[in-house]
Amino acid sequence: MSTTTPSDIEAAWKRIEPYVRTTPVIRLNRGLLHPDAEVFLKLELMQVTGSFKPRGAFNRILSNNVPAAGIIAASGGNHGLATAYAARALGYHAEIFVPTISSLVKQQRLRDYGATLHVTGANYKEALQASTARARETGALVVHAYNQMETIAGQGTCGREFDLQAPDLDTVLVAAGGGGFIAGIAAWFSGKAKVVSVEPEGCCCLWTAFQNGEPVPVSVSGVAADSLGSTEVGELAWEICRHSVARSVLVKDESIREAQRWLWRELRVIAEPGGAAAFAALLSGAYSPAPSERIGILVCGGNADLQSEAFKA
């Protein structure tokens, strides 16, 4: 099975660079979280649409001929936003399918981007099934949230960027859903830095795949289900992750909420639950750094509910 290489990621960057932002990296003051480790946060939540997803969506669309029927995607929310944004920027129509658990904030933004929105199914898998049936009817270009090589290479451009901004990282903590983002990051950092997957206990398809030696279906629940709630890791992502992800850890929902609160309280950064999950691993101790370790953390989504208790302080 083919895989994604740094050359694929470089090519993706050249393709998408006019349409995406180079997001900032901040170094936390030494001792703020750990007495010795150096911690760098890449604020990918400042990407257009509020998450890393446009990188993959633009690369998928720009790598293909788009038919008259336009573009179609299924999403928990963030991928749909990215696809709708990319379609509008490139002059195409988009149909987006989201499950009923998708936040109302994300649904309204999808409408604002001009997409035809379908709210259907109890979870991402059911929304994906509906979108697949619709794509067969219309012939639209499918932009999958994670299980396409163009998507994975596009997401890998975030790792390329991080590597240039914070050289010589020892470890990179990455939240995982269906696996496209972490696969792209792992493809870039393979042989350079240890990549650690972070998932909520209620949304852990990659962790479960590691336990079983292959992707298997899981149930989905919890505060980050709308963004990390894939029921099974993608096959293409798994081929990369099983070789290039060093470790997989789980975090509790309350640890994610505390990570959201910390990011808001200390940095005035508004992260959604899925976007704060990787940081939660360090904050909660699910990942414990070695002395003098240089740790990079992807804060990857900011489409949060501003009425959440996490932002009251």
Residues 6+ apart with CB under 8 A from 305: 103, 105, 272
Question: Which strand ranges, in their side-by-side order, compose the sheet holding 116-119?
Answer: 116-119, 94-98, 71-74, 141-142
Is the pLDDT at 197 greater than 80? The verdict is: yes
- Residue 213 or 33, more confident: 213
Fold designation for 54-142: Rossmann fold (3.40.50)
Place of tokens 């999950």: 277
Cα–Cα distance for residue pair 239/236, rounded to 1 Å: 5
- Residue 160 pLDDT level (bands cut at 50, 70, 90): very high
Q: What local confidence, expressed as pLDDT, does residue 32 receive?
A: 81
pLDDT tens per residue across span 249-267: 999 999 999 999 999 999 9
Average the pLDDT over 216-223 and give the result: 93
Beta strands in the chain (DSSP E): 25-27, 38-43, 71-74, 94-98, 116-119, 141-142, 171-175, 194-200, 247-251, 294-299
Q: What local confidence, expressed as pLDDT, does residue 304 receive?
A: 85
Q: What local confidence, expressed as pLDDT, does residue 2 receive?
A: 61
Q: What local confidence, expressed as pLDDT, does residue 1 receive?
A: 53
Q: What local confidence, expressed as pLDDT, does residue 313 receive?
A: 58
Q: What local confidence, expressed as pLDDT, does residue 59 receive?
A: 98
Burial grade of 313 (CB within 10 A; 0-12, 13-18, 19 or more): exposed
pLDDT tens per residue across span 272-291: 999 999 999 999 999 999 99
The two domains 6-52+148-311 and 54-142 share their CATH topology (first three levels equal): yes
CA 52 from chain center: how many Å? Answer: 6
State the sign of the Cα–Cα–Cα–Cα dihedral 288, 291, 296, 297: positive
Q: What is the mean pLDDT of the chain?
A: 94
- Listed by start position, the domains of the chain span 6-52+148-311, 54-142
Percentage of residues in the chain having pLDDT higher than 90: 85
Is the pLDDT at 137 greater than 80? The verdict is: yes
Place of tokens 């090519």: 11
Per CATH, the architecture of 6-52+148-311 is what? 3-Layer(aba) Sandwich (3.40)
- Under a CB-based contact definition with an 8 Å cutoff, are residues 224 and 200 in contact? yes
